[in-house]
Amino acid sequence: MDGQNIALADKFVAAYQNLDKQDLSELKDIYHDDIVFEDPAHRVEGWGELSDYLARLFDAVDYCSFNITEQVCQGDIAYVQWVMTFQHPRLQSGKSRLVNGCSRLVFAEGKVIHHRDYFDMGQMLYEGIPLLGSVVRKIKARL
């Protein structure tokens, strides 16, 4: 089973590294119909909800890409470390922003059934908002 899950983790990495915001259909092949997806701001259940959520996210950005820097797979669980580069027209005047993160994946029936993203919401959003960004950066520096 480990070999199948390693191949699935590789398929996940390839899908996200080649992600095209105009066509997210490749993701359907890696996610279970009963997928549970969580990140610091949301929780969605089922492929339909996840597909809608991802479509809204990618519609809101001008650009988004993932660089996978490390992956570990053991049994039915994989961890994937990544750097996301994105441009949002309302954050930092549309300039590119980098966010470091990690995804925990759980496999079942040859697909990802649980996907949990871990990242710093301040790094992703708050630091890119005028005035608030400088406050957040100052607070982080003091810590």
96-108 sheet: strands from edge to edge: 43-45, 31-38, 111-119, 96-108, 77-87, 63-74
Residue 120 reports pLDDT greater than 70 = yes
pTM: predicted TM-score of the whole model, two decimal places = 0.83
Tally the domains of the chain: 1
Residue 91 reports pLDDT greater than 80 = no
Q: Looking at residue 21, which CATH number applies to its domain?
A: 3.10.450.50
The mean pLDDT of 72-80, rounded to a whole number, is: 96
Q: Which domain holds residue 17?
A: 2-142
